[in-house]
């Protein structure tokens, strides 16, 4: 597994990196004692796009693939030099975020054709742009006034309510079919890259991370509630009149960075190697769920690596290696 290090913080954090590292932030972790206590909302880093640093811009294009809009970025010497296909799934800020696009370009520079689909069908997380009040607080050199703090709290409360409504619109039943359309289309449009990599590589941040597990699993159509053209009828199904069909896995290998809204059941059926980058005592992914997932993968011989960072908030994981040639 000799491959380049690729940043897995929220993409807006990666875009803001400079050569001089920032001083470490003192963080008091939130303790989560059970799965039921985990807040299933999205982290602020994945719903609020940070300002793009001056002088930085993206180099890819947005186009339709399989009837779904996607940001596509390619290695500079592709197709003259073979590349692999990477499906990149974003947090709530979506494909129009310049920071997400810059992150896709970084992966492309490492030898990938990157396809970053619009999982939200033109409806990214509400208030994905940082509000003036929040921006002022981030840039403040002194303690905010009581009025400033009140304004910030009011904005956070309103945003939380809107995000709850937004999440209700973007369920697995809505998102997964979009991803399957894109996967089917890339097999044709970028057949050389899929073939060169021996399949589709996939990377997901925050909201998108959960779908890495779903795309890497073999599940029945009954379990997903979705019938796809790639469903494989099990022996005896037709005679029994059963609707049970197995689907997936659709990817070769997957990586998840600061996942959210993942449940224990999402690991069931997982077949492909995965790498997880998590933080300790994460309110978005409880230790209980993560440990249950590790236990399932161990018992079912699913190749995996899990890195857990203590003392940092959700969305601020450090670095890990995107697998190049998983064994098996």
Domain count, the chain: 1
243 found inside a domain: no
231 found inside a domain: no
SS3 116: strand
pLDDT at 123 over 70: yes
Residue 292 vs residues 74, 196, 206, 287, 288: alpha-carbon distances, Å: 37, 34, 19, 8, 6
Q: How confident is residue 35, by pLDDT bands cut at 50, 70 and 90? A: very low
156 found inside a domain: yes
pLDDT tens for 208-241 read 999 999 999 998 765 555 544 444 444 444 444 4
pLDDT at 244 over 60: no
Listing DSSP states for 252-321 in one string gives: SEEEEES--S--GGGGTTB-S-EEEEEETT-SSS-HHHHHHHHHHHHHTT--EEEEEETT--TT---EEE
Lowest-confidence region among 21-25, 106-110, 141-145: 21-25
CA atoms within 13 A on the CB side of 62: 14
Element (H, E) at 202: strand 200-205
CA–CA separation, 309 and 225 (whole Å): 35
Task: State residue 144's pLDDT score.
Answer: 60
Task: State residue 168's pLDDT score.
Answer: 82
Structure tokens at 291: 């440990």
CB atoms within 10 A of CB 63: 11
Q: What is the CATH number of the domain that holds 123?
A: 3.40.50.1820
37 found inside a domain: yes
Residues in the chain, how many?
Answer: 328
110 found inside a domain: yes
**Of 15 and 117, which is predicted with more confidence?**
117
Lowest-confidence region among 7-16, 117-126, 198-207: 7-16
pLDDT tens for 186-202 read 999 999 999 999 999 99
245 found inside a domain: no
328 found inside a domain: no
Structural domain span for residue 118: 5-216+251-321
Task: State residue 47's pLDDT score.
Answer: 62
Lowest-confidence region among 10-19, 45-54, 98-107, 125-134: 10-19
Q: Of all residues in the chain, what percent carry a pLDDT higher than 90?
A: 45
Task: State residue 250's pLDDT score.
Answer: 97
Rg (alpha carbons) of the chain, rounded to whole number: 20
pLDDT tens for 19-31 read 444 443 333 333 3
pLDDT tens for 150-178 read 555 555 555 666 777 878 888 999 999 99
285 found inside a domain: yes
CA–CA separation, 315 and 25 (whole Å): 13
């Amino acid at each position: 597994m000799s491959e380049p290090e690729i940043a897995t913080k929220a993409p807006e954090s990666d875009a803001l990196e400079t050569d001089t590292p920032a001083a470490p932030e003192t963080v008091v972790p939130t303790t989560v004692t059970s799965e039921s206590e985990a807040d299933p909302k999205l982290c602020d880093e994945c719903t609020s796009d940070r300002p793009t640093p001056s002088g930085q811009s993206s180099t890819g294009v947005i186009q339709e693939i399989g009837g779904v809009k996607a940001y596509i970025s390619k290695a500079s010497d592709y197709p003259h030099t073979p590349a692999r296909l990477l499906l990149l799934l974003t947090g709530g800020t979506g494909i129009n975020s310049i920071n997400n696009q810059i992150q896709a370009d970084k992966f492309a520079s490492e030898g990938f054709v990157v396809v970053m689909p619009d999982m939200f069908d033109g409806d990214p997380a509400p208030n994905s742009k940082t509000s003036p009040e929040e921006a002022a607080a981030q840039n403040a050199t002194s303690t905010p006034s009581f009025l400033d703090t009140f304004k910030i709290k009011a904005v956070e409360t309103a945003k939380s309510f809107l995000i709850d409504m937004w999440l209700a619109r973007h369920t697995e039943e809505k998102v997964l079919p979009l991803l399957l359309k894109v996967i089917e289309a890339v097999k044709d449009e970028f057949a050389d890259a899929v073939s060169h990599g021996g399949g589709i590589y996939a990377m997901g941040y925050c909201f998108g991370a959960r779908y890495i597990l779903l795309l890497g699993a073999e599940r029945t159509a009954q379990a997903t509630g979705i019938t796809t053209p790639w469903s494989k009828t099990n022996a005896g199904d037709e005679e029994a009149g059963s609707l049970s069909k197995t689907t997936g896995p659709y990817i070769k290998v997957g990586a998840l960075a600061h996942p959210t809204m993942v449940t224990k059941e999402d690991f069931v059926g997982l077949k492909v190697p995965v790498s997880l980058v998590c933080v300790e005592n994460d309110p978005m992914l409880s230790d209980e769920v993560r440990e249950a997932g590790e236990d399932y993968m161990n018992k079912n011989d699913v190749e995996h690596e899990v890195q857990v960072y203590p003392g940092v908030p959700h969305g601020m994981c450090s670095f890990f290696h995107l697998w190049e040639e998983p064994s098996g």
